[in-house]
Structure 1
């Protein structure tokens, strides 16, 4: 079993209990946005400032709506009984990501922007999610980002006296690996076409989250899958052409070997 500080981690500063998860959530937004500005200054952005701003606005509104919708669909009877406050307070990054994607595509059609816009956001998004997931881990069982009971070596007491899969920690490790992989691909002497890095992130992350959901103690299922898993499948279907291209590319490489 992995040793860890007592969870949930709730430090007290000047007599005030600090919501460390909320602090890290805001930090994730701040660091992610600052990192995006840092990358954009050092990159030739072929999208105009006005169009880029419109794209960001589309992403924000799409993310706000779908993050709360998907959080509600994780357990509709429970959230419905808790009223509108529950709908406004609960959110999920999976809905935010896919909603942001739809918001961006909608705005790009409105303004007539045809160029791929996601690559500049890819690494900042990954970094921001990783910071946010650290907050989830430190929140223990106060946030629904904990796993089922386990006797596995990596099991942790997340605050309820039971050893559980620390799925937030699993996700942090995966995200850091994905971050360095995409960064390495971006620095390759043979760069990929525009939009490819964001697609790699979305396909990899949604595939990983589909599998990770099996380790969560979900209580609401439809035909054996959670709402997040259906969203993951829908996202992979959205990128089916890119997945098919990747499979064909891998087959050709294997054939040449």
Structure 2
């Protein structure tokens, strides 16, 4: 039986695994990216790729903290530098990274989609990072509300809760399988990244309802609104995707 939070000891001091796994997620994600990059003919130059990655990292740094502090609007009047520094959310990181990439691409004149190469590395990094979140129990705000669901777990406060981080790990494995299954499919450049963003934010929108979130506006949290923004941002892709699915079903079943 796991006792949360799961920690290790150095010189009598307890430390969370989360910080180690968060660093590993970044390192391994980068290594997976360069491994996959060697296998494809990249239409974007190495120099421009570096600029794009810089834009993604800076955007993610800002976005992850902005959306995170908006997750607790009741505490906006008590924000300190340490609060801002320690507050992070993956949804905000992806949203900020998207903005950062688009801004950098405008400056360097890159007009083609650049995200497909990042899908698998992001999935791998997210999975490793979520292991750390899961091991943190209630010390990390990735736990769910009280539940009698068979997967409910005591995450450190004696209450049986939805293990939201564990749910996400399972979902990420499913996404990995999906993207491996379609890797040989002929899709428009950029469609894989768009599909990843839509599917990931769909999950985040739905799972937020079983988390103890604070309402930002209209009884929806900052994560909800981030997901809604992504759906609107990619609405043309979503319509095109749904049209293709309907046409395929019609051809299959007559």
Using the size of structure 2 for normalisation, the TM-score is 0.96
Describe how 1:107-186 pairs up with structure 2 within 5 A. 107-186=104-183
Aligned residues: 252
Describe how 1:199-210 pairs up with structure 2 within 5 A. 199-210=194-205
Residue in structure 1 matched with residue 70 of structure 2 by the alignment: 73
Residue in structure 1 matched with residue 15 of structure 2 by the alignment: 18
| Secondary structure of residue in 2 paired with 1:12 | strand
Residue in structure 2 matched with residue 211 of structure 1 by the alignment: 206
Following TM superposition, by how much is the alpha carbon of 1:14 offset from its aligned partner in structure 2, in angstroms?
4.5
Residue in structure 2 matched with residue 241 of structure 1 by the alignment: 236
Following TM superposition, by how much is the alpha carbon of 1:52 offset from its aligned partner in structure 2, in angstroms?
0.6
Using the size of structure 1 for normalisation, the TM-score is 0.95
Distance in 1, matches of 2:128 and 2:50, equals 24
Residue in structure 1 matched with residue 33 of structure 2 by the alignment: 36
Following TM superposition, by how much is the alpha carbon of 1:103 offset from its aligned partner in structure 2, in angstroms?
0.8
| Secondary structure of residue in 2 paired with 1:69 | helix
Unaligned runs of 5+ in 2: none
Distance in 2, matches of 1:77 and 1:55, equals 35
Residue in structure 2 matched with residue 198 of structure 1 by the alignment: 193
> Given the alignment of the two structures, is residue 228 of structure 1 paired with residue 249 of structure 2, yes or no?
no
Distance in 2, matches of 1:118 and 1:37, equals 14
CA RMSD for the aligned pairs? 1.2
Distance in 2, matches of 1:245 and 1:146, equals 35
| Secondary structure of residue in 2 paired with 1:11 | strand
| Secondary structure of residue in 2 paired with 1:220 | coil
Residues 208-228 of structure 1, C-alpha deviations (whole Å, 9 max, x = no match) = 110000000113342111111
Distance in 2, matches of 1:9 and 1:172, equals 17
Unaligned runs of 5+ in 1: none
Following TM superposition, by how much is the alpha carbon of 1:18 offset from its aligned partner in structure 2, in angstroms?
2.5
Following TM superposition, by how much is the alpha carbon of 1:48 offset from its aligned partner in structure 2, in angstroms?
0.4
